[in-house]
Each structure stands twice: as structure tokens, then as C-alpha cells.
Amino acid sequence: MSRTALRICPLCEATCGLTLTVEGTRVTGARGDRDDVFSRGFICPKGASFGAVDGDPDRLRAPLVRTDGELREASWEEAFDAVAAGLRPVVERYGPDAVGVVLGNPNVHTVAGALYPPVLLAALRTRSLFTASTVDQMPKHVSSGLLFGDANAIPVPDLDHTDHLLLIGANPLESNGSLCTAPDFPGRLKALKARGGRLTVVDPRRTRTARLADRHLAIRPGTDALLLAAMAHTLFAEDLTDLGDLARHVQGLDELRAALGDFTPEAVAPACDLDAGVIRTLARDLAAAPTAAVYARIGSCTVPHGTLASWLVDVLNILTGNLDRPGGALFPQAATDRTPRPAGPGRGFALGRWHSRVSGHPEAKGELPLSALAEEIDTVTEEGTPVRALIAVAANPVLSAPDGDRLDKALGSLDFMVSVDPYLNETSRHAHVVLPPPPPAQSPHHDFAFNTLAVRNQVRYTRPAVPLEPGRMAESEILARLILAATGMHGADPGAVDTTVVDQTLGKAVRDEHSPVHGRDPRDLAARLTGDTGPERRLDLMLRLGPYGDGFGARPDGLTLEKLLAHPHGIDLGPLRPRLPQPLKTRSGRIEMLPEPIAGDLPRLRAALRDRPAGLVLVGRRHLRSNNSWMHNVPALTGGSNRCTVHIHPEDAARLGVRDGAAVRVKGAGGEVVAPAEVTDGVRPGVVSLPHGWGHDRPGTRLSHAATDPGVNVNQLLDGSQLDPLSGNAVLNGIPVELVALP
Ligand SMILES: Nc1nc2c(c(=O)[nH]1)N[C@H]1C(S)=C(S)[C@@H](COP(=O)(O)OP(=O)(O)OC[C@H]3O[C@@H](n4cnc5c(=O)[nH]c(N)nc54)[C@H](O)[C@@H]3O)O[C@H]1N2
Ligand SMILES: Nc1nc2c(c(=O)[nH]1)N[C@H]1C(S)=C(S)[C@@H](COP(=O)(O)OP(=O)(O)OC[C@H]3O[C@@H](n4cnc5c(=O)[nH]c(N)nc54)[C@H](O)[C@@H]3O)O[C@H]1N2
Ligand code: SF4
Ligand SMILES: [Mo]
């Protein structure tokens, strides 16, 4: 007997609603949920393989504990005993900074990953925090922090209404979008064109997205900040700036104009390998469009000037009056955001409140660069202690961060490591304890992170599609118990973690004059929360205190968990709307156009006008049926075009004697790899491309399918020293490499 169940897809940022077919406890099919208020039936090949991802026989079913050097299955009790016994002595002897925390990408795709890591960090008080953000979007957080005073205030292009989209270093036809949650991104781009809109793509590769565009500019990698600076320069020089209503929220415009004085189209053209006239046209078109949005992603962030490029994206949106207006780029308002407080000066955004021990990298958003994790473990300094124990949650930095071989060794030297991960893989194989979360069908879902980045305000929640199998533990309970074990409360009731958060949140809310529950009795409010589990009660709390919430009766029509559960396909909360000045939290209460750290970094960009390295540079690429490092174990998602090959342009191939399909050796600062070449004019001359997340050939893992076609780890070409200095983000694109054809 089969039945169907709804489940929001956690496999990328598009958050599509799926209708799963379930037989017994197995998911045997997945299709798009046509009634989903946001995704309206869209599904991609990854979502369609939900059952295969969920049912992968290599997923761990029970915790693993290392005894006599070997990882063996153990009970949950033994596993948490081992965690407490492993972590506490390190904290007590060396202090909390000796415990590193590594949070990987899937945390933004789970309820548990949103709700518990912040509690862990607050309780553990370690400054040794490393996340996937510093191999991804940290530059955007830093630029938002500096411009708007809030690192999480990220404007999102109004895809469904814009007349003109300038899309930079993103390939949503394969990635399905990032920092712009939009189920059916491809369809939305086609709709943009169908309504007469214009799409320009800037990418060194002629991607599927580029092929859909009206205009494709194959820029030289790493130079987008120069291109954007020249566009801003052109807007000033040709008097094309038109801030409209934004003008009253902005400060520092004259200083900005002066600071960009050197970046003429002629000056940047040779570095970008673009025509100066084309750059001027881009600026003019942006200014002339009735509405327009500049949107940039991985290719603009994971480069030496990532923060400057991210900043300039918003500068262009502001100078053309497109920030915070329909059809431009707007700030979403998610249902679990805090109730907006009145506009006014805020606390601002600080960078570098502390520094990493070995290289002195400044923290950004409370994080140290993931690139520095290996040295923080393996390097002794006069002051401070190395990281001796590690808590890794949903993270595989051995493949996703620079210089995996060094990190691999460093992890092997730790006193203790615990991984919360469904797989025994390149990273978790070093753990002393592996705590496996249940597969996604057995977990609830709500997109805490991606709803704050969605092109339409909406809210959806799906309960587990399948009950927890015997012997499984919900990821929320795993993380709650991990928090207790790490903070000296091993054995306490894990429900106490949620109760404490609820009590603290309500305690603050009733004292806050802007809260809908100001002055009420927190115990009474807590008693009114509904939900079957701790995470559900916390979701209810956030919804009710949020911008659309019922305020515990203050707004009777408002959102509650009960109301959301009564709408299994979600609740639409309307298109993105202008919100300024409310989101601004800068000290001035305005948008600070030329923040001091940005001004301080401009000389480095000016220097980049002159350095034009000879030789090949390498960029990454994503394949539709992939997801970073952990989906190569699903047969349905491998093979075909999803292969770890080196894309090389025919001209470069001819010059270097590279034949299609033959092996080439690629050498970078951190090491070398050998992979088959794929000769294609889909990549521009001078640029080669390798995807990331491969290299599944290390011993001691349990990835039986991935091991049959392991691929190579592109990040071994990096030595971890190349960072965007303001954000600590790794440079993963535009890295110099040498390439040799093998006989
Ligand atoms: N060269 C290069 N390197 C890159 C990139 C690039 O473009 N080029 N991209 C970077 C980017 S954008 C990112 S986000 C990072 C990603 O790098 P990571 O953060 O390491 O993320 P993933 O490889 O997606 O998965 C990490 C781990 O999560 C586990 N996992 C899967 N589902 C769950 C779950 O439900 N719960 C738990 N607890 N664990 C789960 C997987 O088994 C895997 O071990 O890689 C970065 N690395
Ligand atoms: N199928 C699939 N989907 C995914 C993922 C996946 O691994 N597979 N990963 C998810 C994650 S974690 C993220 S963060 C998102 C990322 O989402 P996107 O940012 O859309 O990711 P990519 O497909 O890597 O696109 C980046 C593009 O930048 C180009 N590029 C490289 N260097 C430069 C440069 O210097 N300048 C310019 N202008 N372009 C450059 C590359 O050629 C590439 O086409 O995707 C998510 N979705
Ligand atoms: S686009 Fe993303 S969220 Fe939608 S079905 Fe595919 S993987 Fe899942
Ligand atoms: Mo990412």
C-alpha cells in the first residue's frame, strides 16, 4: 500500500515542495507539489531522486564510536558518553577556544541546523568557529554589514518583476539559484525574457544560463569588482545616477564618486578582458531600464576582491534607484524574522573583533576563515592553544576547503573529534564519534534561512514524511544532547535546551516595548505554545512573535504553527515590498555608501588594474545533478555530464597538446591532480574548469558508489593562503594553474 506525503526539498536553495510516494517506510517516488504556494509543481532531477538520496544504503544507521582505533557501531548512550568524555577535558584544560566548531552547508537545509548550533556556540563560548560561509558567501555578509549595518540584510533580485537582470558569476540553470531562493529559477528567467526583459550574464564559461541570455560576457576570472567599479564610474561620469526615494536614506555619495575616480572603463578593460565600450553600454542599459537588478554569486564571492564585488553590486542597485523597489532588489521579510522595530540608528557592524591565532585573520560575523582551520590545529604559537578537539556538524572540509591533504592530517592529530553526519566520508572518518542524523524523509522541514532570501514572501512547514525508524534519533535531539555533553551537562533532559531558549526569548520579548507581547506573563505565553516537539514549539514561538504572527492573541488573524499546519502547501505572504529604512542598522541609520574598511581595500583593487597574470587560471563549475561533496554516492545522480573532468578551450588544448578524454596534470600552489580533459569552447581561452566536491578515494570511508568513480579534489590545488582579506573568504576561482598533457 502506498501513500503520499508532502516534504519541502532540502537539496538546494530553491526549496521546492515535493509530493513523496511512500511505501511502508520507504520513499519510492517524488514529484513536484502542484499546490505548493511557492514552487507550483516545479521539480528538478535531484528532487526527483529524493527517494534514492533518502534511501542510500551507505547512510549510517547507528552511531559510531572509536575503540582501539576502529570506528564501531555503538548505542546512543555510549556515543554521548564518549562525546562528553572527549570534549570536557579539552575545555577544562585548555579553555573553550581549544574546541573548534565546523558547520557545513547542510545546516542551512535542516530545522536542527538552524535551531541548535547558535545555542551550542552561545553555551560553549568558543571563538574557534569555522563554517562553509567562508568558502561561499561571507563577502556578501560583510558588504551588507558595512552598507546596511546588518550582515543578514541581503537584497534579493525581484526576478518575477524586473525588466533587466545583470547576472554575474552564477549559473542558476544548474545550481537552481543561491542567495535568491526561487523555485524554477530557469522558468522565471524565461518569463523575464518573455515579458520583454533583458538578461545579461557575466561568466568566463558559456553556461546554460549564459546560453539563455541576450548578452554573455566571458570576463577574465577574478575581475568582476573592476567591471562593476567601472560601471559605477560610468553612471557618475555620464550623470546617469538616479537614486529617487533612496536619496534620503543614503550617505557618502560624493566620497564614493571620488573613490571610484580611477576606475574608468578604459582602465579596467584590459584586466577584465572586456571592451570599454561594452562596459559603458552595460552601465547605460542598467540606468535606462525601467527597473533592473544586479545579482552576483559564487563567481563574484570566491575571488580576491569578493567583498568589494559584493559591495559594488549593491552600489549599482542603489545608484540606479533599484534597491528596495519592485522590479529591483528588495529585502525579503520572512515569517520567522523578528518583528520589525522602528527605524533609526543601530549598532552597526564590526569586523575583526578578534583575530585568528596563527595568521591573524580578522573574524567576520564571529567566524574565522575555514581556510585557516588546518593551521589552527597543526601550528603551535607562543600564545594561545591550538584547536585540539573538533565538533563538525554537516561539514566535509577535507573536500570543500583549500588544501584537503593538510586538513586531513590535522584532523588525524586531534585529541577528539565528533561528526554529526549521515556518512562516513573524507572528514567524518577522522571522528572519534559519528552521530548520524536520520534521512530527510524522517525529519521535519522549514526553511529558516532561505525564506529570508526568497523572491516571494511565503511560509511552509512539513512534518516528517515517514516516522523515525527504530534506533534513529531526530537531528534536533542529537544536537541538543551534543550541546549538553559539550557544556558539562551530559545526561540532562535534552528538552531542557528548547525550554531554556523559549524562556529566554519570551523573557526578552515581554521586556521589549516594541514586542507584541510587551508586559505579558512569559509563563502564560509559554503555556500557550503548540507543537509536538521542542523544535515545533520553537517554530511556533518565532512565528507568533514574527512580523506576520498572532502576537499571542494581539493580532488574532496572525500566523501560528497551528495555522501553518492547516495549510500543508504553505501560506503565501505576498510579493517583496519596499522596506527601507527599517532594515538599516548602521550607526548613522543610513546606507553608508563608502564604509571605511571598503575604502581601505580600494588601493588593492587599484593595484589589480595592473596585474594581469600570464598563464591559465582555473574556475569551478556545478552540475545540475550534484550537491557539493555528498551526492556522488547516489547512482541516479552520477554519470552523464556530471563528471570530474578538466574543461579546456580548444585553442589552449591545441597549444598544450591536450586531447579530449586524455589525462592532464593540473598543478597549483597547494598541490596537483590528474583528471581527464574535456575539450570544449564552453570555457573561454586561458581558463580551465574543474568541479569541486570530488576526490572520494581516501581509505576508511563508506561511500561505495562514489568510490567507483572518485574524481579528484580540486581544492588540493590551493594552499589556503589566498583569501579576500575583509571577509576571510577563500579564493576558489581564478586561481593560477599549470597544465601538462600526460602521455
Ligand atoms: N573549489 C570549490 N570549493 C568549494 C566550492 C566551489 O564552488 N569551488 N563551493 C563551496 C560552497 S558554496 C560550499 S557551501 C561548501 C560546501 O561544503 P560543506 O559545507 O563541506 O558541504 P557539503 O559537501 O554540502 O556537505 C557537508 C556534509 O554534510 C553531510 N550532510 C548531508 N545531509 C546532512 C544532514 O541532513 N545533516 C547533517 N548533519 N549532515 C548532513 C554530508 O554527508 C557531508 O559530509 O563547499 C565549498 N567548496
Ligand atoms: N546542482 C547543484 N546545485 C547547487 C550546488 C551544487 O553543488 N550542485 N551547490 C549549492 C551551493 S552550496 C551554492 S553556494 C550554490 C551556488 O550557486 P551559483 O553561484 O549559481 O553556482 P555555480 O554554478 O558554481 O556558478 C558560479 C559561476 O561563476 C562562474 N565564475 C567563476 N569565476 C568567475 C569570475 O571570476 N567571475 C564571474 N563573473 N564568474 C565566474 C563559474 O564559471 C560558474 O558558472 O549552488 C547550490 N546549488
Ligand atoms: S530545484 Fe532544488 S529544491 Fe527544487 S527539487 Fe531540485 S534540488 Fe530540490
Ligand atoms: Mo554554498
Does residue 171's CB lie within 6 angstroms of at least one atom of ligand 2?
yes
DSSP H or E segment with residue 210: helix 208-212
Does residue 622's CB lie within 6 angstroms of at least one atom of ligand 2?
yes
- Nearest alpha carbon, ligand 3 atom 2: 12
| pLDDT for position 611 | 79
C-alpha cell at 89: 577535558
Domain boundary among 512, 540, 569: 569
Atom of ligand 1 at shortest distance to CA of 732?
Answer: 1
- pTM for the whole structure: 0.98
Co-location of 506 and 378 in the same domain: no
Q: How many A from CA of 607 to the centre of ligand 2?
A: 27
Q: Would residue 458 count as lying in a domain?
A: no
DSSP state string for 388-405: -EEEEES--HHHHSS-HH
Q: How many independent structural domains does the chain possess?
A: 5
Q: Would residue 470 count as lying in a domain?
A: no
Co-location of 187 and 116 in the same domain: no
Co-location of 172 and 319 in the same domain: yes
pLDDT tens, residue by residue, 5-48:
999 999 999 999 999 999 999 999 999 999 999 999 999 999 99
Q: Which pLDDT band holds residue 452 (cuts at 50, 70, 90)?
A: very high
Atom of ligand 1 at shortest distance to CA of 427?
Answer: 44
- Nearest alpha carbon, ligand 3 atom 4: 16
- Nearest alpha carbon, ligand 2 atom 26: 170
Co-location of 366 and 386 in the same domain: yes
Q: Would residue 262 count as lying in a domain?
A: yes
Q: Would residue 431 count as lying in a domain?
A: yes
Which residues make beta-bridge pairs with 663? 676
Please, are residues 662 and 692 in contact by the beta-carbon 8 Å criterion?
A: no
C-alpha cell at 542: 518565532
Q: Which pLDDT band holds residue 274 (cuts at 50, 70, 90)?
A: very high
6, 7, 8, 12: residue to mutate for ligand 3 pocket, most atoms within 8 A of CB: 12
Does residue 224's CB lie within 6 angstroms of at least one atom of ligand 2?
yes
pLDDT tens, residue by residue, 460-509:
999 999 999 999 999 999 999 999 999 999 999 999 999 999 999 999 99
DSSP H or E segment with residue 167: strand 164-168
Co-location of 629 and 594 in the same domain: no
Co-location of 23 and 119 in the same domain: no
Please, are residues 436 and 59 in contact by the beta-carbon 8 Å criterion?
A: yes
**pLDDT above 80 for 311:** yes
Co-location of 627 and 702 in the same domain: yes
Alpha carbon distance 19, 486 (integer Å):
38
pLDDT tens, residue by residue, 232-267:
999 999 999 999 999 999 999 999 999 999 999 999
C-alpha cell at 630: 555528498
Query: How many residues are listed for the chain in this entry?
Result: 743
Looking at all shown ligands, the one closest to residue 54's CA atom is 1
The counts of H helices and E strands in the chain are 25, 28
The rounded Cα 366 to chain-centroid distance in angstroms is 16
Mean pLDDT of 167-196: 98
Domain boundary among 55, 81, 100: 55
- Among residues 430, 435, 426, 406, the alpha carbon closest in space to that of 417 is found at 430
DSSP state string for 112-157: HHHHSHHHHHHHH--S-EEEGGGGTTHHHHHHHHHHHS-TT---EE
Does residue 207's CB lie within 6 angstroms of at least one atom of ligand 2?
yes
**pLDDT above 90 for 612:** no
pLDDT tens, residue by residue, 550-579:
999 999 999 999 999 999 999 999 999 999
Looking at all shown ligands, the one closest to residue 184's CA atom is 3
Rg of the chain, C-alpha, whole Å: 25
Q: How many A from CA of 42 to the centre of ligand 3?
A: 8
Co-location of 380 and 290 in the same domain: no
Q: For the domain that residue 203 is a member of, what is the CATH number?
A: 3.40.228.10
C-alpha cell at 340: 520589525
Sign of CA dihedral 444, 26, 9, 105: positive
Q: For the domain that residue 355 is a member of, what is the CATH number?
A: 3.40.50.740
Question: By residue range, what is the domain housing residue 516?
Answer: 494-569
C-alpha cell at 258: 571620488
Atom of ligand 3 at shortest distance to CA of 45?
Answer: 6
Q: Would residue 450 count as lying in a domain?
A: no
| pLDDT for position 401 | 98
Q: Would residue 673 count as lying in a domain?
A: yes
Q: For the domain that residue 678 is a member of, what is the CATH number?
A: 2.40.40.20
pLDDT tens, residue by residue, 705-743:
999 999 999 999 999 999 999 999 999 999 999 999 998
6, 7, 8, 11: residue to mutate for ligand 3 pocket, most atoms within 8 A of CB: 11
Co-location of 399 and 415 in the same domain: yes
Looking at all shown ligands, the one closest to residue 105's CA atom is 1
Does residue 458's CB lie within 6 angstroms of at least one atom of ligand 3?
no
- Nearest alpha carbon, ligand 1 atom 4: 400
pLDDT tens, residue by residue, 118-152:
999 999 999 999 999 999 999 999 999 999 999 99
DSSP H or E segment with residue 663: strand 663-668
Does residue 175's CB lie within 6 angstroms of at least one atom of ligand 2?
yes
Co-location of 416 and 521 in the same domain: no
Co-location of 369 and 307 in the same domain: no
Q: Would residue 702 count as lying in a domain?
A: yes
- Read off the amino acid at residue 160: D
Q: Which pLDDT band holds residue 1 (cuts at 50, 70, 90)?
A: confident
Domain boundary among 514, 541, 569: 569
Please, are residues 258 and 237 in contact by the beta-carbon 8 Å criterion?
A: no
DSSP H or E segment with residue 8: strand 2-8
Mean pLDDT of 181-192: 98
- Nearest alpha carbon, ligand 1 atom 36: 394
Alpha carbon distance 488, 7 (integer Å):
36
Co-location of 86 and 150 in the same domain: no
**pLDDT above 90 for 101:** yes
Q: Would residue 457 count as lying in a domain?
A: no
